[in-house]
């Protein structure tokens, strides 16, 4: 669906960032800000957001899954195709905004920069699955890898991604920042190292022009 710039049109917003950057912590804050501004919003996540997507998510995060890189990539896009069909496109068509915890920008960062899959191959899948639809605003919570890891260190066993080496997450971070630099119209980089209150001030400012 081509998007225009009218403040009345439904908007597709995503939260991105490395492990422990604060996406889950901040998504409900953003939802409340949008609702307070009179916006009807659907909050969802990737991989996931549908029954099939959540099943694929469980397989993708399971440390017992033996997935080659192309399988991982295709599972992300399989979950995304279902998510677009069942949740995202219908919500936008109803006039709702969509707030999604990760989307294709994560695929470029994790499967592209992290795993080393050719970015052009990802772009082909993006166009195949999404057509022209892209997030209107990508809120990139940025922080050093070690800080994110420390923040999630206290919780249960690491999932299949969290088991990766520091160098993998550094490539992911660098990749996200390159995307943001290449596309300043859509991306807003949020300094996620500061207090939650200051992160949320930045998030407010990053969506203010859309409201």
Shortest distance, CB of residue 136 to ligand T5A, whole angstroms? 18
Contacts of 123 (CB under 8 A, 6+ apart): none
23 binds ligand T5A (CB under 6 A): yes
Shortest distance, CB of residue 24 to ligand T5A, whole angstroms? 3
122 binds ligand T5A (CB under 6 A): no
Kindly tell me which residue out of 140, 180, 190, 199 binds ligand T5A, with binding defined by CB under 6 A: 199
Quick count: other Cβ atoms within 10 Å of Cβ 140?
23
21 binds ligand T5A (CB under 6 A): yes
Site stretch for ligand T5A (CB under 6 A), options 6-14, 20-28, 85-93, 178-186: 20-28
* Cβ atoms of 145 and 18 closer than 8 Å: yes
Consecutive H or E run containing 126:
helix 119-130
Closest to ligand T5A by CB, 196 or 209: 196
Distances (CA, A) of 70 to 66, 67, 133, 175: 12, 8, 23, 19
**Contact set for ligand T5A, span 40-69 (CB under 6 A):** 46-47
**Contact set for ligand T5A, span 61-120 (CB under 6 A):** 76, 101-102, 106-107, 110-111
168 binds ligand T5A (CB under 6 A): no
Quick count: other Cβ atoms within 10 Å of Cβ 160?
15
Q: What sign results for the dihedral spanned by CA atoms 31, 169, 63, 46?
A: positive
Kindly tell me which residue out of 10, 11, 12, 22 binds ligand T5A, with binding defined by CB under 6 A: 22
Q: What sign results for the dihedral spanned by CA atoms 175, 110, 46, 83?
A: positive
Kindly tell me which residue out of 10, 12, 14, 20 binds ligand T5A, with binding defined by CB under 6 A: 20
Site stretch for ligand T5A (CB under 6 A), options 4-12, 131-139, 179-187, 192-200: 192-200
Length of the chain: 211
């Amino acid at each position: 669906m081509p998007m225009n710039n009218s403040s009345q049109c439904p908007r597709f917003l995503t939260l991105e960032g490395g492990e422990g950057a604060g996406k889950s912590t901040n998504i409900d804050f953003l939802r409340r800000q949008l609702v307070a501004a009179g916006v009807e919003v659907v909050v969802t996540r990737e991989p996931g957001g549908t029954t099939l997507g959540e099943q694929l998510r469980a397989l993708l995060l399971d440390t017992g899954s033996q997935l080659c890189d192309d399988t991982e990539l295709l599972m992300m896009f399989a979950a995304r195709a279902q998510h677009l069909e069942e949740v995202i496109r219908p919500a936008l068509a109803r006039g709702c905004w969509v707030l999604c915890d990760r989307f294709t920008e994560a695929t470029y960062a994790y499967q592209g920069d992290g795993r080393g899959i050719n970015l052009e191959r990802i772009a082909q899948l993006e166009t195949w699955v999404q057509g022209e639809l892209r997030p209107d605003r990508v809120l990139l919570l940025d922080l050093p890898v070690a800080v994110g890891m420390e923040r999630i260190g206290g919780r249960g066993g690491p999932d299949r991604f969290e088991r990766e080496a520091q160098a993998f997450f550094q490539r992911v971070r660098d990749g996200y920042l390159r995307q943001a630099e290449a596309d300043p119209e859509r991306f807003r980089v949020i300094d996620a190292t500061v207090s939650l209150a200051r992160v949320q001030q930045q998030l407010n400012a990053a969506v203010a022009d859309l409201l």
